[in-house]
Chains A and B, each alone.
Chain A
Amino acid sequence: MSLLEVENIIVDLPTPRGMLRAVDGVDLTLEAGKTLGVVGESGSGKTMLSRAILQLLPRKAKLSGAIRFDGQDMTRIPAETLRKLRAKSVAVVFQDPMTSLNPVLTIGTQLTETMREHLGVSQSEAISRGIALLAEVGIPSPEQRMGNYPHQLSGGMRQRVAIAIALSCAPKLLIADEPTTALDVTVQAQILDLLAREQRSRHMAMMLITHDLGVVAGRTDEVAVMYAGRVVERAPTRELFHHMRMPYTAALLAALPKLDAPPHTRLPAIGGRPPDPINPPPGCAFAPRCIYADPGCDNAKPPLSAPDARSHQFACIKPLPVAA
Chain B
Amino acid sequence: MAAVKRRTGLLFWCALGWITLVLLAAIVADVLPIPSPTDMDIFARRKGPSMAHLLGTDSLGRDVLARLIYGARISLSVGLLAPVIGLSIGGGLGLLAGYFRGRFETFVTGGVDVVLAFPPLILAMAVTAYLGQSIMNLTLVLGFLGIPAFTRVARAATLTFSAREFVTAARALGAGHARIILKELLPNVALPLGAFFLLGVAVTIVVEGALSFLGLGVPPPAPSWGVMIGEGRESLEMAPALAFLPAIVMFLTVLSFNLVGDTLRALTDPRQGAL
Q: Which residues of A contact B (CB under 8 A)?
A: 15-17
B2 sits at the interface (CB 8 A): yes
Q: How far is the CA of A17 from the CA of B6 in the complex (A)?
A: 10
Shortest distance between the CB of A18 and any CB in chain B (Å): 10
Q: How far is the CA of A15 from the CA of B274 in the complex (A)?
A: 11
Closest chain B residue to A16, Cβ basis = B3
Q: Which chain B residues lie closer than 8 Å to A15 at the CB level?
A: 275
Q: How far is the CA of A289 from the CA of B12 in the complex (A)?
A: 44
B179 sits at the interface (CB 8 A): no
Q: Which chain B residues lie closer than 8 Å to A16 at the CB level?
A: 2-3, 6-7, 275
Closest chain A residue to B6, Cβ basis = A16
Q: How far is the CA of A171 from the CA of B159 in the complex (A)?
A: 44
Q: Which chain A residues lie closer than 8 Å to B7 at the CB level?
A: 16
Size bracket, chain B contacts: under 10
Q: Which chain B residues lie closer than 8 Å to A17 at the CB level?
A: 2-3, 275
Q: Which chain A residues lie closer than 8 Å to B3 at the CB level?
A: 16-17
Q: When each residue 263-275 of chain B gets 1 if its CB lies under 8 Å from chain A and 0 otherwise, what string results?
A: 0000000000001
Q: How far is the CA of A16 from the CA of B7 in the complex (A)?
A: 8
Closest chain B residue to A17, Cβ basis = B3
Closest chain B residue to A18, Cβ basis = B2
Q: Which chain A residues lie closer than 8 Å to B2 at the CB level?
A: 16-17
Given contacts A16-B275, A17-B2, 7 further A-B contacts (CB under 8 A): A15-B275, A16-B2, A16-B3, A16-B6, A16-B7, A17-B3, A17-B275
Closest chain A residue to B2, Cβ basis = A16
Q: How far is the CA of A277 from the CA of B275 in the complex (A)?
A: 13
Q: How far is the CA of A16 from the CA of B274 in the complex (A)?
A: 11
Shortest distance between the CB of B2 and any CB in chain A (Å): 7
Q: How far is the CA of A16 from the CA of B5 in the complex (A)?
A: 10
Which 8 A-B pairs rank lowest in CB-CB distance, beginning with the nearest?
A16-B3, A16-B275, A16-B6, A15-B275, A17-B3, A16-B7, A16-B2, A17-B275
Kindly identify, within residues 1 to 42 of chain B, every residue whose CB is under 8 Å from any CB belonging to chain A. Answer: 2-3, 6-7
Q: How far is the CA of A16 from the CA of B6 in the complex (A)?
A: 7
Q: Which chain A residues lie closer than 8 Å to B275 at the CB level?
A: 15-17
Shortest distance between the CB of B269 and any CB in chain A (Å): 13
Q: How far is the CA of A318 from the CA of B90 in the complex (A)?
A: 65
Q: How far is the CA of A15 from the CA of B3 in the complex (A)?
A: 9
Kindly identify, within residues 229 to 275 of chain B, every residue whose CB is under 8 Å from any CB belonging to chain A. Answer: 275
Q: How far is the CA of A17 from the CA of B275 in the complex (A)?
A: 9
Shortest distance between the CB of A31 and any CB in chain B (Å): 39
Closest chain B residue to A15, Cβ basis = B275
Q: How far is the CA of A92 from the CA of B2 in the complex (A)?
A: 38
9 contacts between A and B (CB under 8 A): A15-B275, A16-B2, A16-B3, A16-B6, A16-B7, A16-B275, A17-B2, A17-B3, A17-B275
Closest chain A residue to B5, Cβ basis = A16
Q: How far is the CA of A15 from the CA of B7 in the complex (A)?
A: 11
Q: How far is the CA of A16 from the CA of B3 in the complex (A)?
A: 5
Shortest distance between the CB of A13 and any CB in chain B (Å): 11
Q: How far is the CA of A241 from the CA of B140 in the complex (A)?
A: 74
Q: How far is the CA of A239 from the CA of B150 in the complex (A)?
A: 63
Closest chain A residue to B272, Cβ basis = A16
Q: How far is the CA of A16 from the CA of B8 in the complex (A)?
A: 12
Shortest distance between the CB of A43 and any CB in chain B (Å): 14
Shortest distance between the CB of A269 and any CB in chain B (Å): 25
Q: How far is the CA of A17 from the CA of B2 in the complex (A)?
A: 8
Q: How far is the CA of A16 from the CA of B4 in the complex (A)?
A: 9
Shortest distance between the CB of B119 and any CB in chain A (Å): 35
Shortest distance between the CB of A60 and any CB in chain B (Å): 13
Q: How far is the CA of A15 from the CA of B275 in the complex (A)?
A: 8
Closest chain A residue to B3, Cβ basis = A16
Q: When each residue 55-91 of chain B gets 1 if its CB lies under 8 Å from chain A and 0 otherwise, what string results?
A: 0000000000000000000000000000000000000
Q: How far is the CA of A82 from the CA of B3 in the complex (A)?
A: 36
Q: How far is the CA of A229 from the CA of B275 in the complex (A)?
A: 19
Shortest distance between the CB of A187 and any CB in chain B (Å): 25
